[in-house]
Chains A and B, each alone.
Chain A
Amino acid sequence: EADIYQTPRYLVIGTGKKITLECSQTMGHDKMYWYQQDPGMELHLIHYSYGVNSTEKGDLSSESTVSRIRTEHFPLTLESARPSHTSQYLCASSGLAGEAGELFFGEGSRLTVL
């Protein structure tokens, strides 16, 4: 069973608010990822990190930002939320198994911006 946790699971906020989606893993994985997924659609990589103080932008342009100050923690921040940010955000991590295409996903944070 994967030990990767996301909070909040569900969030409804108004336009212009700042939000932070939390992601923590207890597996000691160096690599962490954020994917964005709309209902019934594919997962788009928006950010990834290969270790502390390492962050990179993914394939899909995103107005969100991330930080990686501790190995186990990879929060995602939106400074000013807009309705176009409404989506599900999935956090994942991988260790050596990532080299065999295996990521461990959290349950996701479903964000609705009104």
Chain B
Amino acid sequence: GQSLEQPSEVTAVEGAIVQINCTYQTSGFYGLSWYQQHDGGAPTFLSYNALDGLEETGRFSSFLSRSDSYGYLLLQELQMKDSASYFCAVLLTLSNDYKLSFGAGTTVTVRA
């Protein structure tokens, strides 16, 4: 089977830094994605890591360690609009293609 674990919720103040960890156990692992979802709306793609290391995109960065089956999303200079749910998702190889399986999500609440 497969599993992804991430914290259920995180609260921080504006301007702070938040790290959301994601650990996974799965076969056919190809890469790790992160998505943001506001109020149950359309999830939007944030980042993707296929190789070990840090990927930086503006205020958000994502990290992957394949040997540790672990990744994280780093949110810097938190803003109120960053209050949302954040999902890690593993990209898995199939016999002829790929599919994405999601974790349970982390609710981030940003306070003034």
Contacts and interface: CB of A to CB of B under 8 A. Distances in A.
Contacts, number: 66
B101 A101 contact: no
A108 B42 CA distance: 7
Contact of A48 (B32, B48, B99, B104): B99
B50 interface: yes
A98 interface: yes
Contacts of B45: 101-104
Majority DSSP secondary structure for residues of B touching A? strand
A59 B101 contact: yes
Interface residues of B, number: 26
Contacts of A104: 45
A14 to B, nearest CB: 24
A87 to B, nearest CB: 11
B97 A50 contact: yes
B41 interface: yes
A26 to B, nearest CB: 15
Interface residues of A, number: 30
B17 interface: no
B60 interface: no
B48 A43 contact: no
A101 B33 contact: yes
Contacts of B99: 33, 45, 48, 58
A108 B100 contact: no
A41 interface: yes
A12 interface: no
A98 B92 CA distance: 11
A48 B99 CA distance: 9
B97 A43 contact: no
B48 to A, nearest CB: 4
Given A88-B40, A99-B98, 4 more contacts: A45-B101, A50-B97, A101-B33, A110-B40
27 contacts: A2-B42, A31-B97, A33-B99, A33-B100, A40-B85, A41-B104, A42-B87, A42-B104, A42-B105, A43-B43, A43-B87, A48-B99, A50-B96, A90-B42, A99-B98, A100-B31, A100-B48, A100-B50, A100-B91, A101-B33, A101-B48, A101-B50, A101-B100, A105-B42, A105-B43, A107-B42, A108-B40
